Amino acid sequence: MAKVLVVYASKWGNTKIVAETIIEGIGGTPGMETTIKNVNEVDFDRAVEYDAVLIGSPNHAGSATAGIKKIISRLGKLQFKGKGIAFFDTYIAKGFETAVKKMEKQAGEKLLGVELIAPGLSVKVKGLQGPIADGELPKCKEFGARVAAKLTNS
C-alpha cells in the first residue's frame, strides 16, 4: 500500500479540480491510498506518514503562492528523505518559467534526498477564474497514473 498526500492552493477552485482529477488517476491503480488537503488545512508535520506528496499551486506572477512556498520549505525540515515529490500548477499563459519549475527548483535546494517522481504538470485555464481549458483534464489523470505506477514499481 502506497500513501499519497495531495496538497493544493486554489483561489477559484481550478487547481482543486486538478488535484481531484490527479487523485482519480491515482485511484485507477490498486493499492494506492490518497488524501487531499487544502494548503490552509494541512497538518504538514504529518507529511512523513506518506510515501509521496504532490503539491499544486495556481501560477501567481510566475510563482507558486506564498502558502505553497512555505510548505515546501517546511517539508525540508521534516524527515522526508527517501520519499517522493511532484508538482503541478494552473496558468493562463506560459511565461518564461512556470510555477512548477519554480517549485521544482525550490525542492531541489530544500529537499535533499527527496526524489522527483514525475515531471511537473502545468494545466491551462481559460481566464483568471477558469474554467480549465479543453483537453487538459485527461493529462491530470495521466499524471496521477504515472505517479501511481512509479510508487508501485519502486
Ligand X SMILES: Cc1cc2nc3c(=O)[nH]c(=O)nc-3n(C[C@H](O)[C@H](O)[C@H](O)COP(=O)(O)O)c2cc1C
Binding-residue total with ligand X (CB under 6 A): 19
Specify the 3-state DSSP secondary structure of 128. coil
How far, in Å, CA of 69 to CA of 82, rounded?
21
- Secondary element (H or E) of residue 116: strand 115-116
59 counts as binding ligand X under rule CB under 6 A:
yes
Please list the residues that pair with 87 across neighbouring strands. 55
- Minimum CB distance to ligand X, residue 56 (Å): 8
> Which of 33, 49, 62, 66 touches ligand X by CB under 6 A?
62
> Which of 5, 6, 26, 58 touches ligand X by CB under 6 A?
58
How far, in Å, CA of 16 to CA of 14, rounded?
5
- Minimum CB distance to ligand X, residue 112 (Å): 29
67 counts as binding ligand X under rule CB under 6 A:
no
61 counts as binding ligand X under rule CB under 6 A:
yes
Quick one: residue 82, left, alpha or beta (phi over 0 = left, psi -120 to 50 = alpha)? left
Nearer to ligand X, 12 or 149 (CB): 12
- Secondary element (H or E) of residue 121: strand 121-124
> Which region among 43-51, 68-76, 122-130, 136-144 touches ligand X (by CB under 6 A)?
122-130
Tell me which residues touch ligand X (CB under 6 A).
10-15, 58-62, 90-93, 95, 125, 128, 130
